[in-house]
C-alpha cells in the first residue's frame, strides 16, 4: 500500500519503544484471551473485540462469542455507574445495543466475564478532551496541521491516517507520540506529504492516557515502524491495561479511552 512521509516537529515519532524486548516465537503455545477496544468522546456505539490467541503458524481467527461485557463510568463526584451491560456479539466483536454518550472528564473501564466466570477488568482511564486544531495549510501534495496540547500536563497522542481514492482505502498508518521533551511549546505541528490529486486524507488525532500510549507503542514496535492499522489487533503477545481479577495478572489486550479530533481533507 502507499506510504506517506510524516513527521511531528515536537518529538521523534517512535520514542520510547526501543525498551520493549523482541518477543521470541520459540515457546510453547498457550491459548489466551485477547481483548481490544477504544472509547472516544464521540457519541455512538461502543465496540470491544474478544478473541483467543492462535499459534503463529495458524492464520484463522478464533472469536469469543460467549463473554459478558459491562461498561462503567465514574464522574467528577466519584459516583460509579453502569453505562451498559447490553452488548451484541458478532464473530468476537461486541457492540453496545444502544448509543453511548461519553462525558469528557469522566473515567471509563470495562469488565469482561468469560464463560468460566473469570473476570477481566481494564484500567480506569479518564476521557481527556479532544485536541484543538488551530490551523491547516494545504499545498499540492502535503498538509500542515497545527494543534495544541495543554502545557501543564504531559500529553500522549495516537494518530491514525487513512488515504482513500474514489472511496477505496489505499493506505492506513498509525503513529504514537508525546510531548515530554518540549512540553513548554503549546503548539504542535503534524506534516504529511506525498499526497496525490484526487485522494482524500482522513486524520484522527486522539488524546490518550499513558498506559494506552504504551500499548500502541508496543504494537508498533512488534510490527515495525509503519504497521497497517488493519493488522493492529492480530493476537500477538502484548499486554496492555487489562487485569485478570482471579490471578491479579495483566493479560493480553487493551481498552483505551481517548479524546478524538477527526478531520478530512480532499486533494
Domain parsing of the chain, residue ranges: 5-18+129-230+260-266, 33-127+233-258
The pLDDT value recorded for residue 46 is 95
Is the pLDDT score of 231 beyond 70? no
**Would you state the cell numbers that stand for residue 252, as one nine-digit string?**
493480553
Three-state secondary-structure class, residue 8: strand
In angstroms, the Cα distances linking 113 to 17, 34, 89, 91, 110 are: 31, 13, 13, 17, 10
Comparing 104 with 136, the larger pLDDT belongs to 104
Average pLDDT over residues 43-57: 81
Do residues 58 and 224 lie in contact, with contact meaning Cβ atoms separated by under 8 Å? no
Minimum mean pLDDT among 110-119, 136-145, 256-265: which range?
136-145
Average pLDDT over residues 94-108: 96
CATH of domain 33-127+233-258: 2.60.40
Is the pLDDT score of 23 beyond 60? no
**C-alpha angle 201-207-212 in degrees, rounded to nearest 5:** 105
Average pLDDT over residues 25-54: 82
Average pLDDT over residues 206-218: 90
Residues 244, 39, 16, 263, Cα dihedral to 10°? 170
Is the pLDDT score of 24 beyond 50? no
Say which CATH architecture domain 5-18+129-230+260-266 belongs to.
Answer: Sandwich (2.60)
Distance CA 218, CA 130 (A): 23
Distance CA 8, CA 142 (A): 13
Amino acid at each position: 500500500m502507499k506510504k506517506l512521509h510524516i513527521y511531528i516537529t515536537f518529538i521523534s515519532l517512535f520514542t520510547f519503544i526501543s525498551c520493549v524486548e523482541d518477543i521470541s516465537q520459540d515457546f510453547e503455545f498457550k491459548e489466551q484471551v485477547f481483548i481490544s477496544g477504544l472509547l472516544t468522546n464521540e457519541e455512538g456505539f461502543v465496540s470491544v473485540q474478544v478473541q483467543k490467541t492462535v499459534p503463529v503458524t495458524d492464520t484463522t481467527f478464533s472469536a469469543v462469542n460467549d463473554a459478558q461485557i459491562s461498561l462503567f463510568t465514574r464522574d467528577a463526584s466519584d459516583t460509579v455507574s453502569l453505562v451498559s451491560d447490553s452488548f451484541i456479539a458478532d464473530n468476537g466483536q461486541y457492540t453496545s445495543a444502544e448509543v453511548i454518550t461519553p462525558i469528557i472528564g469522566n473515567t471509563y473501564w470495562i469488565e469482561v466475564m468469560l464463560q468460566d466466570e473469570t473476570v477481566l477488568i481494564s484500567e480506569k482511564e479518564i476521557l481527556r478532551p479532544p485536541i484543538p486544531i488551530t490551523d491547516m495549510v494545504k499545498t499540492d501534495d502535503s498538509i500542515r496541521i497545527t494543534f495544541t496540547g495543554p502545557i501543564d500536563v504531559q500529553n500522549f497522542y495516537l494518530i491514525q491516517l487513512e488515504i482513500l481514492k474514489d472511496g477505496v482505502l489505499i493506505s492506513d498508518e498509525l503513529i504514537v507520540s508525546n510531548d515530554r521533551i518540549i512540553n513548554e511549546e503549546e503548539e504542535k505541528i503534524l506534516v504529511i506529504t506525498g499526497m496525490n490529486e484526487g485522494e482524500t486524507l482522513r486524520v484522527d488525532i486522539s488524546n490518550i492516557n499513558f498506559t494506552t500510549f504504551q500499548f500502541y507503542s508496543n504494537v508498533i514496535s512488534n510490527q515495525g515502524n509503519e504497521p497497517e492499522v488493519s493488522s493492529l489487533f492480530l493476537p500477538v503477545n502484548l499486554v496492555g491495561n487489562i487485569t485478570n481479577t482471579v490471578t491479579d495478572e495483566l493479560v493480553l489486550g487493551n481498552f483505551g479511552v481517548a479524546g478524538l479530533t477527526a478531520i478530512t481533507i480532499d486533494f
